[in-house]
Structure 1
Amino acid sequence: MKDKLLILGDQAVALGALHAGISGVYAYPGTPSTEITEYIQSSPLGRGRGVYCDWCTNEKTAMEAALGVSFIGKRALVCMKHVGLNVAADAFVNSAMTGTHGGLVVLVADDPSMHSSQNEQDSRFYGKFAMVPIFEPSSQQEAYDMVRDAFDLSERVKLPVLMRLTTRMAHSRAVVVPAVPRDENPLSFPEDRARWVLLPVNARRRYNELLAVQADLQRLSGASPYNSYRPGDRRGVVACGIAYNYLMENYPEGCGRTVLKISQYPLPVETLRRMVAECDEILVLEDGQPFVEEQLRGLLDESGKIKGRMSGELPRAGELTPDNVRAALGLPAAPVADACARVVPRPPALCAGCGHRDVYEMLNEVAKEYENSKIFSDIGCYTLGALPPFRAIDSCVDMGASITMAKGAADGGLFPSIAVIGDSTFTHSGITGLLDAVNSRANITVVISDNLTTAMTGGQDSAGTGKLEAICLGVGVEKEHVRVVVPMAKNYDEIRNVLREEIEYPGVSVIIPRRECIQTLKRNLKKSKA
């Protein structure tokens, strides 16, 4: 009897990638994708094989490094959350133009309902835009099997494969039966070197080749074991990825409807044509945006029979759930347990003892001394400074935007213009903004709140640890205006004075409040005692 493992969807992907013979995994931590890389980092198989598995500075560098592994004929997995794909988009889209040599799988974990994200974007649109195959598992077992097959497909069609999870798939557990691990690929090099050099003369040829392979991708999708068509009555359901799981959960005795399960893209158009002909109505179930529904309406719907998020049967925003799927199917509502009804929502808050608390205490106090002071913040634990009791920040848009928004506001005449950014976010996307500010001699004060880790996603290593002062000096901030303080109550007088001095300085100044994250400190103390 084969071993059975009870694991997360993220862990199923990680195990499948290890068993597919990867030589490297490249990622920047981002919920709900972080556990994939962490699983590989702790895997005896990964360590024994020497699989490369360190955190990257951002998703773009991760994508490019993985593409380098593919160039030498080996297999690489690159992992990120959906907004990370925005950062990696340049390299991702162009990787479809270069193509692959060794297998390359881009795992993107989307976050419908924005549990820990700024938006609800659906990464399938990126895959369609880049014209690469897309996989979307409906179960943890399928996630394990699918990532192995995705590497094979990548090498077969010479393209990267986008694999999409959503939060519930990534963070729920189910039993997985693993297969026999395969060895890593040997070192080899592409025969056609020109397609890796995207000069216009080569890129035009490659684009035509990419267009030519689309018919083959369509055929592979139509024949995929991950897509299945089960005829039933004239009420059709298209269930994509985890939505298939939700559909079957609502029909434990079996579903009498006509069901098309889709877990591999591009869309199996011929099967969809058959379904439209055989059904009076079709409900599209998909977690995220109406990616399939929109295409069905445009390509095949002439009678108004396509239903889903766009027609109101399912909510337009938020994640798919068994309950809203049940309502869309016309089934009676399931009973709600009393305990669930009594649960009181608890808003997130900065940890007791967190250094960010001291930073915001002082920033609020000093900022009140100025009539028009504004504080532009960024993505991280410290974004919680927007909530009570601090209410300290005026913006949070995307990774690195604090510095560039502060610069833009200062360019327009705002004083004081203050940016707050974390150490990991600064090295991810803040350095170039700081360089812009230095080059234009912007009158801004940048606070890099350094807790010596990537705290929001669980305490992964931060690329800037021990280097922040050198980086700031390297991009041109004057040495006397790079100030380090320790954010503790006993140092409040010093911090207030430093803030006032640097706000009054008519140029770029950087203040680095440095104190280790309280959570990693506890773990490190526990390890040292052990």
Structure 2
Amino acid sequence: MEEKLLLLGDQAVALGAIHAGITGVYAYPGTPSTEITEYIQTSELATLRGVHSRWCTNEKTAMEAALGVSYVGKRALVCMKHVGLNVAADAFVNSAVTGTNGGLVVLVADDPSMHSSQNEQDSRFYGKFAFTPMLEPSSQQEAYDMMSYAFDLSEQHKLPVLMRITTRMAHSRAVISPGRIREQNELGFPDDAAHWVLLPVNARRCYGELLGQQPALEALAAESSYNSYTDGPNRKTGVIACGIGYNYLMENFPAGCDFPVLKLSQYPLPKTLVRRMAETCDEILVLEDGQPFVEEQLRGVLPTAVRIRGRLSNDVPRTGELTPDNVKQALGLESAPGFAPSEHVTPRPPALCSGCGHRDTYDALNRVVREYKDYRVFSDIGCYTLGALPPFRAIHSCVDMGASITMAKGAADAGLWPAVAVIGDSTFTHSGITGLLDAVNSNANITVVISDNLTTAMTGGQDSAGTNKLEAICLGVGVDPAHVRVVVPLPKNMDEITAILREEIEYRGVSVIIPRRECIQTLKRHHKEARQNKTTKS
């Protein structure tokens, strides 16, 4: 009997990567990609094979470590959410120029509708920018199957492969049938060592070779089993359905679509298939979850007489997720009645957990900074960002990972005082250390609060790279030891914390205060594990 498993899209990706013979997965936790690495960390097969699966400090270090695995001939998966690709972009774009040795797959989980993100960027633009092949599964089964294909593709064409999923693919479940399990690669080094040394003389040659591969990659996409053209009797509209958009389209046509359909799950854009549709259809509707990546390209590929509909024409909403319902509306189909929210259900905004140390930190901070006229508190990305909401309303900015320290520095450079930065322990090691070094080098008049809950709490309590190292890091980049202060954020310590905050704000230079108390959620988990271990031993 064929084995079947009910898996999240993230888990299907993870299992596919294990079965494809990876030696390591490299990632920084970021919703909606986190469950990929977590699945590999708990996989018996991955553990048996010694697959490396510890969290990295940030996405750039993850990308570079995965590239090192590829250099020695083995297979590596690197995972991140869409904004993480911004952090990894330097290494990612250059990896297309160096090429690969062992298979290298870059899995990026985009977040349309910004369920847990600052923007809606579409990672397919990065793949096009870097001239890498791209894959976009339309189902969990394809997400599993594509991993093996992606690693083979990477090794055959000596290029990294970008695989893009979105929130609904990552976090919805479906039944998959696992396939062949492949052994890991043996060690082996690149044939052309100069490819990996991007001095200008080498880089120019490598870049020319990369551009020369593009026609073959486009032809491969046109012939790919993941891209398919299906004719239909109603040729008024041809539908190009990308990734999960194909899934949504077919939900509306369980007996088969009336329109010609081009399913797109492999890029570069196969122009021959697109032109074939344009020759037989009056108009083309593009269904893609994210930004108008394909729709924009069509306008440079097809004759201007062909009408193109999609997000740019507002036939599909310009922002937010693609859904079966807005697909139905774009096709002019009758909408089924939906569920209206009950008037008795009150919206419940997110809030910091009861007992969270961030609460006491913000209580203390508010008491002190409100004694000053022009204070500003620059914050960062983590669960402590909820300090922007009632009842605290304690922060004034949250832009990107690590921006709190450097924005506070810039504001102080411009004459603001006091300028306070609030950053979490994991975000600090992710991308705050270099900002602190800048502040030290210019003796910026800022107070940095590293709210340390000893974990990466916002994404589920993963290990934090800076646990038990924060003081040493701050001293190492040059903060005066007298102005690195550690406190325990509890109501009973409020007088001590507020006194230290006042002292360090009044100090004219860089000071760091570290309120340290374990995340209430991981504390509960650790207590539960301890009780279970005690029961097992007895």
TM-score bracket relative to the smaller structure: over 0.9
What is the aligned partner in structure 1 of residue 461 from structure 2? 459
Matching of residue 244 in structure 1 with residue 233 in structure 2: no
What is the aligned partner in structure 2 of residue 505 from structure 1? 507
- Check the 8 A contact 2:111/2:120 in 1, yes or no: yes
Q: Deviation digits for residues 63-85 of structure 1, max 9, x if unmatched?
A: 00000000000000000000000
Matching of residues 222-237 of structure 1 within 5 Å: 222-232=222-232, 233-234=234-235, 235-237=237-239
Gap change, CA 1:414 and 1:344, over 3 Å in 2: same
Residue 419 of structure 1: how far off its partner (Å)? 0.1
What is the aligned partner in structure 2 of residue 409 from structure 1? 411
Following TM superposition, the consecutive aligned residue runs of length 4 or more in structure 1 with deviations greater than 3 angstroms are: 337-345
CA distance, structure 1, for counterparts of residue 60 and residue 343 of structure 2: 43
- Check the 8 A contact 2:309/2:315 in 1, yes or no: yes
Matching of residue 3 in structure 1 with residue 27 in structure 2: no
CA distance, structure 1, for counterparts of residue 303 and residue 365 of structure 2: 56
Residue 2 of structure 1: how far off its partner (Å)? 1.4
- Check the 8 A contact 2:444/2:510 in 1, yes or no: yes
Give the match's secondary structure for 1:239: strand
User: Residue 311 of structure 1 is aligned with which of 310, 313, 321?
Assistant: 313
CA distance, structure 2, for counterparts of residue 189 and residue 389 of structure 1: 58
Matching of residues 78-227 of structure 1 within 5 Å: 78-227=78-227
- Check the 8 A contact 2:31/2:81 in 1, yes or no: yes
CA distance, structure 2, for counterparts of residue 27 and residue 149 of structure 1: 21
What is the aligned partner in structure 1 of residue 362 from structure 2? 360
Q: What value does the CA root-mean-square deviation take over the aligned residues? A: 1.0
Residue 304 of structure 1: how far off its partner (Å)? 4.8
Gap change, CA 1:414 and 1:456, over 3 Å in 2: same
Give the match's secondary structure for 2:501: helix
Gap change, CA 1:137 and 1:341, over 3 Å in 2: farther
Residue 152 of structure 1: how far off its partner (Å)? 0.2
CA distance, structure 2, for counterparts of residue 361 and residue 503 of structure 1: 16
- Quick one: percent identity of the two aligned structures? 76
What is the aligned partner in structure 1 of residue 473 from structure 2? 471
What is the aligned partner in structure 2 of residue 347 from structure 1? 349
What is the aligned partner in structure 1 of residue 274 from structure 2? 272
Q: Deviation digits for residues 452-473 of structure 1, max 9, x if unmatched?
A: 0000000000000000000000
CA distance, structure 2, for counterparts of residue 516 and residue 250 of structure 1: 48
- Check the 8 A contact 2:282/2:306 in 1, yes or no: no
Residue 337 of structure 1: how far off its partner (Å)? 3.5
CA distance, structure 2, for counterparts of residue 483 and residue 505 of structure 1: 13
Gap change, CA 1:35 and 1:341, over 3 Å in 2: farther
What is the aligned partner in structure 2 of residue 288 from structure 1? 290
CA distance, structure 1, for counterparts of residue 176 and residue 303 of structure 2: 38
CA distance, structure 2, for counterparts of residue 301 and residue 174 of structure 1: 40
Residue 275 of structure 1: how far off its partner (Å)? 0.5
What is the aligned partner in structure 1 of residue 386 from structure 2? 384
What is the aligned partner in structure 2 of residue 485 from structure 1? 487
Residue 344 of structure 1: how far off its partner (Å)? 4.5
CA distance, structure 1, for counterparts of residue 298 and residue 180 of structure 2: 39
Gap change, CA 1:301 and 1:168, over 3 Å in 2: farther
Residue 220 of structure 1: how far off its partner (Å)? 0.5
Give the match's secondary structure for 1:257: coil
What is the aligned partner in structure 1 of residue 523 from structure 2? 521
What is the aligned partner in structure 2 of residue 431 from structure 1? 433
CA distance, structure 1, for counterparts of residue 344 and residue 9 of structure 2: 29
* Partner AA of 1:220 in structure 2: L
Q: Deviation digits for residues 155-183 of structure 1, max 9, x if unmatched?
A: 00000000000000000000010012100
User: Residue 450 of structure 1 is aligned with which of 452, 464, 475?
Assistant: 452
* Partner AA of 2:71 in structure 1: F
CA distance, structure 2, for counterparts of residue 387 and residue 280 of structure 1: 50
What is the aligned partner in structure 1 of residue 265 from structure 2? 263
Residue 336 of structure 1: how far off its partner (Å)? 1.5
Gap change, CA 1:158 and 1:340, over 3 Å in 2: farther
Q: Deviation digits for residues 457-494 of structure 1, max 9, x if unmatched?
A: 00000000000000000000000100000000000000
- Check the 8 A contact 2:82/2:123 in 1, yes or no: yes
Residue 343 of structure 1: how far off its partner (Å)? 5.3
Q: Deviation digits for residues 7-54 of structure 1, max 9, x if unmatched?
A: 000000000000000000000000000000000000000000000000
User: Residue 394 of structure 1 is aligned with which of 396, 413, 417?
Assistant: 396
Q: TM-score, normalised by structure 1?
A: 0.99
Gap change, CA 1:198 and 1:520, over 3 Å in 2: same
CA distance, structure 1, for counterparts of residue 247 and residue 19 of structure 2: 25
CA distance, structure 2, for counterparts of residue 215 and residue 343 of structure 1: 55
Residue 340 of structure 1: how far off its partner (Å)? 7.5
CA distance, structure 2, for counterparts of residue 227 and residue 344 of structure 1: 45
* Partner AA of 2:111 in structure 1: D
Gap change, CA 1:291 and 1:340, over 3 Å in 2: farther
* Partner AA of 1:244 in structure 2: Y
Gap change, CA 1:45 and 1:176, over 3 Å in 2: same
CA distance, structure 2, for counterparts of residue 440 and residue 193 of structure 1: 41
Q: Deviation digits for residues 233-266 of structure 1, max 9, x if unmatched?
A: 2111000000000000011222110000000000
What is the aligned partner in structure 1 of residue 25 from structure 2? 25
* Partner AA of 1:470 in structure 2: A
* Partner AA of 1:183 in structure 2: E
What is the aligned partner in structure 1 of residue 328 from structure 2? 326
- Check the 8 A contact 2:278/2:306 in 1, yes or no: no
Residue 298 of structure 1: how far off its partner (Å)? 2.2
* Partner AA of 1:31 in structure 2: T
What is the aligned partner in structure 1 of residue 67 from structure 2? 67
* Partner AA of 1:350 in structure 2: L
Query: In terms of mean alpha carbon deviation, does 323-332 or 53-62 score higher?
Result: 323-332
Residue 333 of structure 1: how far off its partner (Å)? 1.3
What is the aligned partner in structure 2 of residue 34 from structure 1? 34
Residue 338 of structure 1: how far off its partner (Å)? 5.6
Structure 1: give runs of 5+ residues left out of the alignment.
Answer: none
CA distance, structure 2, for counterparts of residue 470 and residue 509 of structure 1: 14
